Amino acid sequence: MRQIRLNAFDMACVGHIQHGMWTHPRDRSSDYTSLDHWVSLARLLEKGLFDGLFLADILGVYDVYEDSPAPSLRGAVQIPLIDPMALVPAMAHATTNLGFGVTCNLAYEPPFLFARRMATLDHLTNGRIGWNIVTGYLDSAARAMGFAGQMAHDDRYDLADEYMAAVYQLWEGGWQDDAVVRDRAAGVYTDPAKVRAVHHHGKQFHIDAVPLWEPSPQRTPVLYQAGASDRGRVFAALHAECVFVNGSTRANVRRIVSDLRARSAPRPMQAFVGCSVVTGRTEKEARDLLEDYRRHASVEGALAHAGSSLGIDFARFGMDEPIDASESQAVRSNVEAIAAALGQGWTRRDLIDRFVLGSRQPPIVGSPDQVADALMLWVEEGDVDGFNLSRTVMPECLETFIALVVPVLQERGVYKTGYAPGTYRQKLFGAGDRLPDGHPAASVRWKG
Binding site for ligand FMN (CB under 6 A): 56-58, 103, 105, 134-137, 153, 226-229, 232, 244, 246, 274, 331-334
CB nearer to ligand FMN: pick between 150 and 169: 150
Determine the Cα–Cα distance for residues 203 and 299; give it in Å rounded to an integer.
43
Indicate the angle between helix axes 299-310 and 332-342, nearest 10 degrees. Answer: 120
CB nearer to ligand FMN: pick between 305 and 425: 305
Could you tell me the smallest distance in angstroms from the CB atom of residue 274 to ligand FMN? 5
Determine the Cα–Cα distance for residues 247 and 144; give it in Å rounded to an integer.
30
Could you tell me the smallest distance in angstroms from the CB atom of residue 135 to ligand FMN? 5
Phi-psi region of 430 (alpha: psi -120 to 50; beta: other; left: phi over 0): left
Determine the Cα–Cα distance for residues 8 and 208; give it in Å rounded to an integer.
38
Determine the Cα–Cα distance for residues 5 and 378; give it in Å rounded to an integer.
12
Could you tell me the smallest distance in angstroms from the CB atom of residue 78 to ligand FMN? 9
CB nearer to ligand FMN: pick between 175 and 355: 355
Determine the Cα–Cα distance for residues 233 and 216; give it in Å rounded to an integer.
29
CB nearer to ligand FMN: pick between 136 and 211: 136
Could you tell me the smallest distance in angstroms from the CB atom of residue 227 to ligand FMN? 3
Contacts of 365 (CB under 8 A, 6+ apart): 277, 278, 279, 286, 287, 290
Could you tell me the smallest distance in angstroms from the CB atom of residue 203 to ligand FMN? 19
Determine the Cα–Cα distance for residues 297 and 312; give it in Å rounded to an integer.
21
CB nearer to ligand FMN: pick between 49 and 222: 222
Rg (CA), the chain: 22
Give the ranges where 188-298 is alpha helix by DSSP (H).
230-239, 250-264, 283-294
- Measured between its terminal Cα atoms, the distance across the chain in Å is 42
CB nearer to ligand FMN: pick between 132 and 216: 132
CB nearer to ligand FMN: pick between 39 and 151: 151
Could you tell me the smallest distance in angstroms from the CB atom of residue 30 to ligand FMN? 20
Determine the Cα–Cα distance for residues 25 and 393; give it in Å rounded to an integer.
9
Could you tell me the smallest distance in angstroms from the CB atom of residue 367 to ligand FMN? 27
CB nearer to ligand FMN: pick between 243 and 404: 243
Could you tell me the smallest distance in angstroms from the CB atom of residue 148 to ligand FMN? 18
CA distances from 247 to 16, 174, 342 (A): 16, 40, 12
Could you tell me the smallest distance in angstroms from the CB atom of residue 247 to ligand FMN? 9
Determine the Cα–Cα distance for residues 9 and 100; give it in Å rounded to an integer.
10
Could you tell me the smallest distance in angstroms from the CB atom of residue 183 to ligand FMN? 44
Closest alpha carbon to 439 in 217, 266, 199, 198: 266
Tell me if 220 sits within 8 A of 129, measured CB to CB.
Answer: no
Could you tell me the smallest distance in angstroms from the CB atom of residue 257 to ligand FMN? 13
Strand partners, 180: 190
β-pairing, 386-390 with 99-105?
A: unpaired
CB nearer to ligand FMN: pick between 244 and 415: 244
CB nearer to ligand FMN: pick between 41 and 138: 138
β-pairing, 270-279 with 5-11?
A: unpaired
CB nearer to ligand FMN: pick between 97 and 361: 361
Indicate the angle between helix axes 250-264 and 332-342, nearest 10 degrees. Answer: 140
